[in-house]
Amino acid sequence: MVPRLQARLVFIVAPAGAGKSTLISRLEPTLGRTSVVSAATAHRDPDRLQSAIEDAAADGAETVAVDDIGCVAGTPAERTLERMAGSAWRMPRLVLASRLPLPSSVVHAAAERSTTITAPELGLRIDEISSLFAEVAGSPLGLRCASRVAQETAGWPVLVELLARRARRVDPDAVESMVESDLASDFAAGCLETALEALPRDLRRALERTSELPRLDFAACARVLGASGAGRLLGAFDSGSVMHEVVLGHRVVPPVLRRHLGECRTLAGRPAGPSAANRRPAMSPTPADPAHAPERPPAL
């Protein structure tokens, strides 16, 4: 990923909790002095957005990163963003992070000067997962358990951190068994709902209907959603706004999200997807076990 970060304009598009802010916080060693602007509703005013970015650049930064820039989409400030993207070569390196796809006008203005990083590229590696557990829970995970966490969560930082925070409650010798138990449950429902709630309702429904497919290619999705629905869903995957991972070149829904969507279907009384018979049943946490007491999810 590091060579791609050298582009003059970098788009980071991924759902909540995928690691956008984490990546931004680690830019400085790679890209030099970095100033971060956290976009808010006030920046929907074109002058305020332009001033915030220009002030950050005037501070001598080599890179200006704007987090949560999607909040200005569809507002007058979008035009300001388009102009800046089109003239990025005259500015320090510009990094724009968003939960939702960036407006096409901004992407087109950037032309070949830009690169886009999406959720599958932000996942933590196995060694990073083990290190995070050591840092947060005081006990690193073994290779086998860390590999399973990576497989189940696609390495999403917010989900791995949630597991690590829960692990602080148990004896170090019991951490890995607790992690295995959590991974078989809908432990991350709150975090996943935060990401899903940002999606248009039809996209969420399409994701529910196709999440059991062994791979999310056009032909398989079209059999469930029709050609138009499949194209819209796959476009959302490719834009980075829907949680997924790429395994052996194929898009798939990570098991942790697949289980959660299955629970949602069950609660709503909707029929399961085409491969529901192969879905591993979720295990209900034992209320008496303090390791399964309610936990506030990490900040997204």
Q: Quick one: 101 and 161 in the same domain?
A: no
If you average pLDDT over residues 145-170, what whole number do you get? 93
- Give the pLDDT score at 2: 63
Q: Quick one: 254 and 142 in the same domain?
A: no
Q: How far apart are the first and last CA of the chain?
A: 22
User: Considering 67, 97, 121, which residue would you say is the last residue of a domain?
Assistant: 121
Q: Is residue 142 part of a domain?
A: yes
Cα separation values, 175 from 130, 167, 257, Å: 12, 6, 22
Contacts of 1 (CB under 8 A, 6+ apart): 117, 121
Q: Quick one: 16 and 85 in the same domain?
A: yes
Report the domain count for the chain: 3
Instruction: Quote the percentage of the chain above a pLDDT of 90.
Output: 34
CA distance 162 to 299: 10
If you average pLDDT over residues 211-240, what whole number do you get? 92
Q: Quick one: 67 and 153 in the same domain?
A: no
- Give the pLDDT score at 159: 93
- Give the pLDDT score at 236: 87
Report which of 65, 154, 162, 151 is spatially closest to residue 118, judged by C-alpha positions: 154
Q: Is residue 297 part of a domain?
A: no
Q: How confident is the model at residue 153 (pLDDT cuts 50, 70, 90)?
A: very high
Look up tokens 């429904």; give the residue. 205
Q: Quick one: 135 and 74 in the same domain?
A: no
Q: How confident is the model at residue 1 (pLDDT cuts 50, 70, 90)?
A: low
Q: Quick one: 9 and 101 in the same domain?
A: yes
| DSSP-based three-state secondary structure for 293 | coil
Q: Is residue 89 part of a domain?
A: yes
- Give the pLDDT score at 271: 64
Q: Quick one: 116 and 131 in the same domain?
A: no
Q: Is residue 298 part of a domain?
A: no
Contacts of 104 (CB under 8 A, 6+ apart): none
- Give the pLDDT score at 292: 43
- Give the pLDDT score at 89: 55
Averaged pLDDT of the chain: 83
pLDDT digits (tens, 9 = 90+) for 65-82: 999 888 888 899 888 888
Containing structural domain, residue 70: 2-121
More confident residue, 103 or 139: 139
Q: Is residue 177 part of a domain?
A: yes
Q: Is residue 299 part of a domain?
A: no
Q: Quick one: 171 and 272 in the same domain?
A: no
Task: Name the most confidently modeled range: 34-38, 75-79, 145-149, 165-169.
Answer: 145-149
Q: Is residue 207 part of a domain?
A: yes
Q: Quick one: 162 and 34 in the same domain?
A: no
Give start and end residues of each alpha helix (H) in 32-156: 46-58, 77-86, 104-110, 126-136, 143-153
More confident residue, 290 or 147: 147
3-state secondary structure 178-242: HHHHHHCCCCCHHHHHHHHHCCCHHHHHHHHHHCCCCCCCHHHHHHHHHHHHHHHHHHHHHHCCC
- Give the pLDDT score at 149: 96
Q: Is the pLDDT of residue 250 over 80?
A: yes
User: Considering 105, 121, 137, which residue would you say is the last residue of a domain?
Assistant: 121
- Give the pLDDT score at 28: 79
Q: Quick one: 180 and 89 in the same domain?
A: no
Q: How confident is the model at residue 88 (pLDDT cuts 50, 70, 90)?
A: low
pLDDT digits (tens, 9 = 90+) for 109-128: 777 678 888 888 888 999 99
User: Considering 102, 121, 140, which residue would you say is the last residue of a domain?
Assistant: 121
Q: Quick one: 247 and 226 in the same domain?
A: yes
Q: Is the pLDDT of residue 274 over 60?
A: no
CATH code of residue 11: 3.40.50.300
CA distance 281 to 143: 25
Kindly report the pTM of this predicted structure: 0.75
CA distance 43 to 62: 22
CA distance 165 to 143: 19
Contact 242, 223 (CB under 8 A): no
Q: Is residue 238 part of a domain?
A: yes
Q: Quick one: 57 and 157 in the same domain?
A: no
Cα separation values, 149 from 54, 138, 182, Å: 41, 17, 10
CA distance 70 to 75: 10
Contact 110, 9 (CB under 8 A): yes
